[in-house]
Amino acid sequence: MTPLASPVSILCAVLGTLPVSALFSGTDCHHPRLELSVTVNGRPASPDPLIRTGNPVRVVYRITNPDDRDVLDVHLAAPGETIVCPSGSADVPRLDDHSSVVCVAVLTAAPGVHDGTATATGHVRDGWPFDDDDGHGLGHGHGDDDWDRSVTASTAVGYRGVGGLISATDSVSVTPTASGGKATLVYTVTDTGNLPVYDVVLSDPLVPSGRITCTGLSAGIQPGATAHCEAVVDLAPGSHISTLSVNASDHTSTAGSSGSSVPPPTLSASAAARFTVVALPPPPPRPSPSPTPTPTPTPVPPPPSTPPRPSAPRPTPTPTPTPTPTPTPTPRPTPTPTPTPRSTPPAPSPSQTTIPPVAKPEQLSRPGVKTSLFLLVMMMPAAGAAAVLAARRK
């Protein structure tokens, strides 16, 4: 069922068509209303002011009643906010005509865009025109004759939480060397915020200045991206700690809670790694060569002043053999041959005479035997044979 119009609305509508409408052109014939404005960290709520993530967000609401009627039971609401008005809550029991009230909400900036709509609602109780505060007038102030009218005001509210954030890691690998170890330090820097970061600087007490090399830093690090860096150093044996420090900036100013501009802070991150360097074991010692013995010179006897004459070996006395007497050969009787008409054979040539073998000279030169006696003994058989041959020839 459609609600009936209030008596004031009907009267204003009728009187507004008459020439005397100017008599009723006051606020009593106007629709009641509210006005709502908002600032975020002292800035207009649209466009969204930039507020650094984690910093306070101060939202200030102003509710104004521009009419001649009071607005009752005003309630202010905004998504995700706890609003406090002078009453201690988000409610204003009575907002007098031509007055304002300030309500505040304070929260912590979260990353990202946060937009919403704030709304103030209340109601106005209409009475007959010309009723005074005591209820005397055309309507006589009777509550039964009063009509309620709701009033509403709304506005956009929001902010954008921004900020570059960085995180870092540090890892180490060691290659043993004879003097200690060669440590390779690997670093990573990641932008975990929602703004690019620039001017990234890494340092580590273990690494001399300028020895850290990086890739992906020339244009800054975009949100969600990671830069990789590395350094190689020679270290002595023992325990070591790599302590990485990283500084950067997002080059973005934001709105402070008082409305002032806040310059970009220095972003920082750190990481550490403990490790131990163990040198290579020394090589086994080479065997020492045995010293070569120095030969002892053989003493040479001094030469004799007069070289001794070689002494001839003394001959061993050999018993002289007794010569065996050779028997005189007896001539055999020669038979008288029967004369044969053959020619007498020639006499044998002296060359055919058999000569007994002569002993070799080495056999003659026996020590202790006289050469003449030895030859005599050896030639006796030959002399006997020669005598026999001579007898046969005769």
pLDDT in tens, 25-37: 444 556 789 999 9
Q: What is the arrangement of strands in the sheet containing 213-215, beginning at the earlier edge strand?
A: 166-176, 181-191, 226-235, 213-215
Domain positions in the chain: 35-125+148-162, 166-277
Confidence check: pLDDT of 344 > 50: no
Q: Please provide the DSSP assignment of 168-186 as one string.
A: EEEEEEEEE-SSSEEEEEE
| pLDDT value for 284 | 84
- Which phi-psi region, left, alpha or beta, contains residue 210 (left: φ > 0; alpha: ψ -120 to 50)? left
Confidence check: pLDDT of 220 > 80: yes
Total-model pTM: 0.59
Confidence check: pLDDT of 276 > 70: yes
In CATH, what class is 35-125+148-162? mainly beta
pLDDT in tens, 48-102: 999 999 999 999 999 999 999 999 999 999 998 999 999 999 999 999 999 999 9
Domains 35-125+148-162 and 166-277 share a fold: yes
Cα 196 from Cα 246, distance rounded (Å)? 15
Confidence check: pLDDT of 141 > 50: no
CATH classification of 166-277, choosing from 1.20.120, 2.60.40, 1.10.760, 2.30.30? Answer: 2.60.40
pLDDT level of residue 46 (50, 70, 90 thresholds) = confident
Confidence check: pLDDT of 215 > 70: yes
- Give the SS3 label for residue 241: strand
90-99, 216-225, 307-316, range with greatest mean pLDDT: 90-99
Q: Closest by alpha carbon to 204, among 164, 235, 177, 159?
A: 235
| pLDDT value for 317 | 54
